[in-house]
Amino acid sequence: MNTLEVSNLKKTFRLSKKQQKIEKTNIKLKVAVNDLSFTAYPGEIFGLLGPNGAGKTTCLRAISTLIKPDEGDIIVGGSSVKNDSISVRGKIGFLTSELKLEDHFTPNYLYTYFSRLHGIEEEIIEERKIVFFEKFGIEEFKEVKVGDLSTGMKQKVSIAISLVHNPDFIIFDEPTNGLDVLTARSVMDYLIELKESGKTVILSTHILSVVDKLCDRVGIIINGKMKICDTLENVLKTSPNNDLEEIFFDLVKEEELSGGVN
């Protein structure tokens, strides 16, 4: 029941003239993900890998219900993103660089605000807030406006806010992007904590060393299609040198030769 199951997901976007110009193409429809399937289980970190534009973010946006699948479905803890999106949104904690916090507000205000929108009782809000703010070192900055915080602190506040409702499913898109080594490390440590507490974690990244360190299972998406999806151990076995980077490059090269990668 606590699995996150992506089944035959297909999502197509209509390209605006501006986007056609940027991508130097005359094609009006772009298939972002095609027939994508994978399952993430509780107590594991599922790494979603792929080059830029491979379809990782589209997949995560579909899981978070920001966009609707054209075909296929995503079942999050028994709820379908197609038929029960509100329930799905209550079960997931989603973090992506696309989601911003309003500069005018303080971490303290935003934490309470988003907690209330998740229907959490005031007492629990305060309890959780103390724990999170202590853990991420936000306490000192809780009354500083988000616009005045450093990039690292903003990211920590975003993580805290994405988890206000203690979700069972955590979806983080490039969570260490733009962070210094220390902050990145604390984020990675926290992901391990979440996994150990039995949460289902999906991590999208293009930093292969992060995948090596954190992920239990890996899915590599190239050109909107799942090229490989298995435990990290099994994936590494497909390379003579047990090198994820080598595997990744081989898959990209293979797709290029078949004319798939732009």
Tell me the per-residue interface mask from 147 to 166 with other proteins, x by CB under 8 A, - otherwise: --------------x-----
123, 127, 150: which is closest to 138 by C-alpha?
150
Q: What is the DSSP string of 214-259?
A: H-SEEEEEETTEEEEEEEHHHHHHTSTT--HHHHHHHHHHHHHHTT
Q: For other proteins, which residue of 34, 57, 65, 200 counts as binding (CB under 8 A)?
A: 65
DSSP reduced 3-state for 139: helix
In whole angstroms, the minimum distance from the beta carbon of 89 to other proteins comes to 4
For other proteins, the binding residue among 38, 46, 111, 114 (CB under 8 A) is 114
Collapse the DSSP code of 142 into the 3-class scheme (helix H, G, I; strand E, B; otherwise coil) and give the result.
coil
Does residue 89 bind other proteins (CB under 8 A)?
Answer: yes
Surface-to-core class of residue 176, CB atoms within 10 Å of its CB (0-12 exposed, 13-18 middle, 19+ buried): buried
When binding is defined by CB under 8 A, the residue of 23, 71, 103, 127 that contacts other proteins is 103
Distance CA 121, CA 111 (A): 13
User: DSSP secondary-structure letter at 179?
Assistant: -
Of 2-10, 23-31, 61-69, 243-251, which segment contacts other proteins by CB under 8 A?
Answer: 61-69
The stretch among 92-100, 190-198, 209-217, 228-236 that binds other proteins (CB under 8 A) is 92-100
* H-helix or E-strand spanning residue 13: strand 4-14
204 binds other proteins (CB under 8 A): no
With CB under 8 A as the contact rule, the residue among 8, 19, 234, 242 that binds other proteins is: 19
Q: For binding to other proteins (CB under 8 A), which residues are involved? A: 14, 16, 18-19, 64-68, 86-87, 89-90, 92, 94, 98-105, 109, 113-114, 116-119, 161
